[in-house]
Amino acid sequence: MLPPSDQLTVCFAHVAYRFGDRFAPRNTGIRFIEARSRDELDATIAQADVLVCSGMWRNDLPTIAPRLRFVQSCSAGTDQYDREVLKAAGIRLASGQGINANAVSEHAVALMLALLRRIPEARDNQAKRIWRGMQGDFAKREDEAGGKTVVVVGLGRIGGRIARLCKAFGMKVIGVRQNVAGGAEGADEVHSFRDLKGLLPRADFLILACPLTEETRGLVDAGALAAMKPTAQVINVARGRVVDEPALIAALQAGRIVGAALDVTADEPLPPDSPLWAMPNVLVTPHTGGETHMYEDNVLDFMVENIARLQRGESALVNQIV
């Protein structure tokens, strides 16, 4: 159980996100401190009952945080947190799963539309002051979403919303998920991961929105890319290592698929010598799919609800991990 709000201290630990700016206007009566670096976190964590963080977490923090009782992760992924360490220290953990579902699903669809409408090419032409004339070559024209087939891998909160948004554009949606019984989420069909390769020849777009697991690591490999039609395009808003990146680069260079849009890459930041930077048929965004004006508030909504539950002595948390 957490102490009452007037005796509670929350530490927001993030290098960029401005949780304090968004938390102060809520007038909760809860004291907060902010850490922008690991050194600052080490210096302040002993004061904290609640920690909001993601990348700054270290599994030795409980040894210098005697008051810490709850960690609200501001990311969906929680692999960095050692569950046994947290349990031994009596610290609860909740994930940020679903916080950026709207943002990432909209980003995926924006990337798809950018490829269809050749927006990167138009931006490049603008920078060069080129007014492209009417195009007689079908392969170089802008295209429409209606009637296209999209295979969405992962039908969780993000993938399910991608499926529904694509349906609104008149697309045929084929969903792929680990547990087919989990539902279609608006897709026309739903299949398991083992069926993916047989579905790929039908795809105009392959959109990846699945977690990185042992099953999905390298899921889109050279064989999968070879199964796609040459006019197909790949969009990845999942994790970079869901795709065999060298195989993707080779397929793009050889024209075995026509293009890709990537919000995630195998190594982040994308290395300066990666061929992906300069490929005209590739659109790269720097893992910003989930980053919006609403991000801090979405995390805080989860945190405030979980704090209230712990103060009431309840055991179940929103997105409970430990």
Q: What positions carry a catalytic annotation?
A: 239, 268, 287
For the chain, the maximum distance between any two Cα atoms, rounded to a whole number of angstroms, is 70
CA 300 to chain centre: 18
Q: Which residues pair with 151 in a beta bridge?
A: 174, 206
Helices (H), the chain: 19-23, 38-44, 83-89, 101-116, 119-127, 157-168, 196-199, 222-227, 245-254, 295-311
Contact criterion met (CB below 8 Å) for 78 and 321: yes
Contact criterion met (CB below 8 Å) for 206 and 225: no
Residue with structure tokens 């850490």? Answer: 35
Contact criterion met (CB below 8 Å) for 176 and 196: yes
Establish how many alpha carbons lie within 13 A of residue 300's alpha carbon, considering only the half-sphere containing its beta carbon.
Answer: 22
> For residue 300, what are the contacts with CB-CB under 8 A and spacing of at least 6?
19, 22, 23, 26
How is residue 138 written in tokens?
Answer: 């079908």
How is residue 196 written in tokens?
Answer: 């993916």
How is residue 168 written in tokens?
Answer: 């609104």
